[in-house]
Every structure is written in C-alpha cells, then in structure tokens.
C-alpha cells in the first residue's frame, strides 16, 4: 500500500493532512520564515537557506523575499535563476525550471489541484498534483499564474498577469487569461 507521500509524488489523490506531509510542510515553512526574515540583509545566508530548501539549485541563483512554497524539495532550478519579490511555488509535484530563467514579482506556480469530487474536496483534505516544467531562457512576467501540469518550452515569454492553463512549445510569446500565443519570439537561439 502506498504512503500518502508516494501518492502525492505520483500525482494521485492524497491526504494533505497526513502527519508526514504536515511535518514536511512545517519544516519547509520554518526555513521559508527564516529566509523571509532575512530579506535583503544577508544575501549569502539567504542563498544558503534556498540551497537547503530547494531540491536543486544551479550556479548563480537569486530569490527575493517574500517567498512561499509547500515543501521546497520539489523545486529544481538551473543556472542563472532569478525570482523577484513575492513569488509562490506550490510544489506538491515537481517544479522544474531550466537555465537563464526570470520570474517577475508575484509569479505563482501551482502544481496542486483539488479533486473534482466535492466529497473529497470538503475541508481541503485531499489534493492532487501535476508537474510544472519550464525550459531554458524563459521570462515569466509579474503576476502571471502557471497552472498544474503546464510545460513551457525554451525561449518563452509570458506576459504580466497572464494565466497559463495549457502547455506551449519553444520560441513563443504568450499572454492573456487564458494565455494564448500572441506572436513568435523573433529572438531564437
């Protein structure tokens, strides 16, 4: 029989109030609180907390406070990563971000959803996750929301305030609610 954590990591419906998961969220929140309390005062200490919190960080990364996440260990970022103020990453499932990526202020990455069955949704007791994957050289504008299960290819730009509900390939500029391609990105690698 699978544990609730195994169910969570496999994208199955899981009990969010499972004691192991509650403990792991508590541990992450303590690190996040320490990180946010530091603000801009001690960049090296802030970077060390992010290194402890995230599943992987590449070379040259910067995350500004106030940052929020569920577990932290499901967040993987490549080299030259930047997350501006007030980003939220609900990492029930993995969030994989490539190299040279920029997140504007208040960007929100949600891998978690609640079941369609109202009995399972009551009291928020059950969740279900879908991985988010973001390619290299992606810029996500301020206030954008990336929904569960979305994959963005390389060299994608997401307009500020957009809600991305489906996946897109390489070299596009998307915007709107729901986001859609507004043009090809003329700057291709």
Q: Which residues are catalytic?
A: 114
Please state, in angstroms and rounded to a whole number, the distance separating the CA atoms of residues 182 and 162: 12
- Tokens 């970022």 sit on residue: 77
Tally the C-alpha atoms within 13 A of residue 149's C-alpha that lie toward its C-beta: 7
Helix (H, G, I), strand (E, B) or coil at 48: helix
Quote the Cα angle for 62-64-67, to 5°.
115
**Structure-token pair, residue 180:** 């859609």
Please state, in angstroms and rounded to a whole number, the distance separating the CA atoms of residues 149 and 113: 10
From residue 178, give the alpha-carbon distance in Å to each of 76, 166, 181: 26, 9, 10
């Amino acid at each position: 029989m699978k544990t609730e954590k195994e169910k969570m990591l496999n994208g199955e419906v899981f009990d969010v109030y499972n004691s192991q998961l509650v403990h792991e969220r508590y541990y992450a929140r303590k690190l996040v609180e320490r990180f946010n309390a530091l603000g801009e005062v001690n960049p090296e200490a802030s970077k060390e907390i992010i290194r402890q919190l995230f599943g992987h960080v590449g070379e040259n990364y910067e995350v500004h406070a106030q940052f929020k996440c569920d577990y932290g260990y499901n967040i993987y970022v490549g080299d030259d990563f930047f997350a501006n103020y007030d980003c939220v990453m609900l990492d029930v499932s993995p969030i994989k971000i490539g190299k040279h990526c920029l997140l504007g202020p208040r960007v929100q990455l949600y891998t978690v959803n609640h079941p369609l069955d109202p009995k399972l949704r009551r009291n928020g007791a059950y969740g279900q996750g879908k991985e988010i994957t973001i390619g290299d050289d992606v810029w996500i504008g301020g206030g954008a929301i990336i929904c569960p299960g979305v994959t963005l290819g390389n060299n994608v730009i997401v307009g500020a305030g957009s809600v991305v509900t489906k996946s897109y390939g390489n070299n596009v500029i998307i915007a709107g609610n729901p986001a859609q391609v507004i043009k090809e990105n003329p700057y291709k690698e």
